[in-house]
Chain A
Amino acid sequence: MTALETVGAVLAAGVQVALVVVGAPYLTGLMRQVRARLEGRAGAGVGQPVRDLRKLFRKEATRPEGTSVVFVAAPLILLASSVFLAAVVPFVSTVASVGGVSDLFAVVAILMLGTVALALAAIDTGTAFGGMGASREITIVALVEPTILLAIFALSVRVGSSDLTDIVAGTLAFPAQVLSPASLLAAVAFAVVIIAETGRLPVDNPSTHLELTMIHEAMVLEYSGRDLAMIELAASMRLALLLGLGVNLFAPWGVATSVAPLALLLGIVMLIVKVALVGVALAVFEVFMAKLRLFRVPELLAGSLLFALLAVAASYFLA
């Protein structure tokens, strides 16, 4: 890689990180505002999560007695993995993913690394709710693994590679592939994956107060101050990352393939528009959805696994 390419890659990565870090809380705010308006309320405004985060950084950080370095390190690992993915996954431009860091299997595994860190921290608190949240989250993540990998399999068949850059480039070159049966089935499976991984309805209710219905919230009950800010920012970023990944796998138009300023600008604008649209759609979907009983969630995940298997079979037989 030449020096110019390295500079370009670093620039693109920096743009993506800045965009995701700044934009993710606004995405969460937009989804909350849409939900509020549909419920007939006025809503707090799109910028409320940013105000909340700013306030959290000024609050005192506490650490329960008896916890170890795992409790303190988990928010860091969670946020660092999200920042890394924001840098290398082709959201705005395909230039930043160099040398094989944006392989789709690696991206999925790094997302899971963050979840595992948080689960270990929850167990470390030594409370029943922390352990319960960790146990449920890990079970759901384990059961959604086959769906993710089979969906990646189906997507990789078209381009002969599981690298994100290749998949995005392949879809840009042959747009009609998006409407193939394999692609559509994989899209449905991926939608369920996004809901399960980010803990949205119907798998998990992000705004519940009842501990026995919590999955993700139960793991963070003991965090405060800047640790809590890191975790909330990471959660928003993971939602933005997964939605952005979904739109760029199935509708990558607008992604820049160079570091020309105009291409980057177009990429930024298109990403914001696409993710905002999908986010609004998800928020509207949530208004009409109730949370599934925890023991019914594996049925939902098995259904999505079936879609993913059908997607792969379609790639075999309808190639």
Chain B
Amino acid sequence: MLRLLRTVLRVGRIALPAPAAPQTPQTPTAEPLPWSGSLQIRHVDSGSCNGCEIEIAAAFGPVYDVERYGVRLVPSPRHADALLVTGPVTRNMADPLRITYEATPAPKRVIALGDCARNCGVFAGAYGVQGPVSDIIPVDVEVPGCPPSPEAIVAALRGLTGR
């Protein structure tokens, strides 16, 4: 415990300073939520290779710290305002994704993270893949990249929180 305390005191704050707030939302089609400063997100892995998940973990980690803009991950879609969907939607995950979307209370947004979520990426046409996320549920925000960098994820989320 003493070693941990010494590390905490020595390292101090490692979060990068916040970049300038984005003037416009990431995608012009996204309607701003009727409030600002609070966004609870339920992450759904609908067949991802986990590359995007590592970048999400980095975005929520101490360096990029997207929580400082009011974003928080929650375990249940009923607690969530937005779904963060990664991966091409496989056949087995199509129904659960739809159920998750219906379980989220209104008003809600869907963020399709990564090229796989936008257009199946490198897995397009594979036998286990049903289609991109927009085939299953309506998508509001898209974040391109394979995987997208944490800065892009942070910018997309800030576009939704308005902070």
Contact = CB atoms under 8 A, between A and B. Distances in A.
Interface stretch (A52-60, A137-145, A299-307): A52-60
Interface string A205-221: 00011110010010011
Interface residues of A, number: 35
Interface stretch (B21-29, B60-68, B138-146): B60-68
Nearest to A57: B35
B13 A44 contact: no
A51 B70 contact: yes
| Most A Cβ at <10 Å: residue of B12, B65, B69, B107 | B65
Given A36-B67, A41-B65, A222 B38 contact: no
B54 interface: no
A51 B8 CA distance: 29
Interface of A is mostly: loop
A224 interface: yes
B4 interface: yes
Contacts of B105: 59-62, 224-225
A228 B78 contact: yes
Contact of B15 (A41, A51, A211, A287): A41
A224 B8 contact: no
| Most A Cβ at <10 Å: residue of B8, B13, B79 | B79
A75 B48 CA distance: 37
Interface in A179-214: 208-211, 214
A40 B15 contact: yes
B35 A54 contact: yes
Contacts of A146: none
B81 interface: yes
10 contacts: A36-B67, A41-B65, A42-B18, A43-B65, A44-B72, A51-B38, A55-B35, A59-B107, A210-B75, A221-B76
